[in-house]
Amino acid sequence: MTKKVFALSDLCTGCRTCEIACAVAHSQSKTLEEAILEAPMPRYRIEVLMSGDERLPLNCRQCDEPECLYACKAGAITKISETGKVKVDKTKCVGCWMCVMVCPFGAAHTDTERHKVLKCGLCSKRENGPACVEACPTNALLFGTREEFKAYLNRLKGEGIKIKIA
């Protein structure tokens, strides 16, 4: 079963802790104190979008049919069939930004300093899973399967927490 990062905008306060945790997880030092001094500066792969009172943490949705994969002529983007993860091989990325242009969620970003695409890889090298999920103080992010996400929603409902579902 494919595990993804699910976001609940109703629980997100817009604190951007997920962004900081993501950047630190992708830094050379893996510590905030040292990461802020690195050059080039580490960048996050999740972004909290805000509009009025609404907040939405946005990262790669690990699509079933990823447009970025089909648009990548360099062959840098692959989908691992066993896990469903859509990943980028930085050694193959030529920085053409086709994946950025076709992503329907706006979850792929340009890294002009390194001339590579930035896209969530679900922190595959971290034992505890995605850094953004671990760092979220309000549990607005969940790393799991669709079924686990549905169970989480039901648990919140059982606790009397109202969640809008589109």
Q: What's the pLDDT tens digit per position in 109-154? A: 999 999 999 999 999 889 999 999 999 999 999 999 999 999 999 9
pLDDT value for 2: 83
Return mean pLDDT, the chain.
94
Question: 60 by DSSP, 3-state: which?
Answer: coil
Question: Is the pLDDT score of 64 beyond 70?
Answer: yes
Question: Is the pLDDT score of 166 beyond 60?
Answer: no
Question: Is the pLDDT score of 1 beyond 90?
Answer: no
Q: Which pTM was predicted?
A: 0.91
Mean pLDDT across the stretch 84-108?
Answer: 96
Render the burial of 60-76: b for 16+ CB within 10 Å, e for the rest.
bbbbeebbbbebbeeeb
Domains, in order of start, for the chain: 1-59+121-156 (3.30.70.20), 62-119 (3.30.70.20)
Comparing CA positions, the residue from 22, 32, 35 lying closest to residue 107 is 22
H or E element in which residue 101 lies: helix 98-102
Check: CB of residue 143 under 8 Å from CB of residue 4.
yes
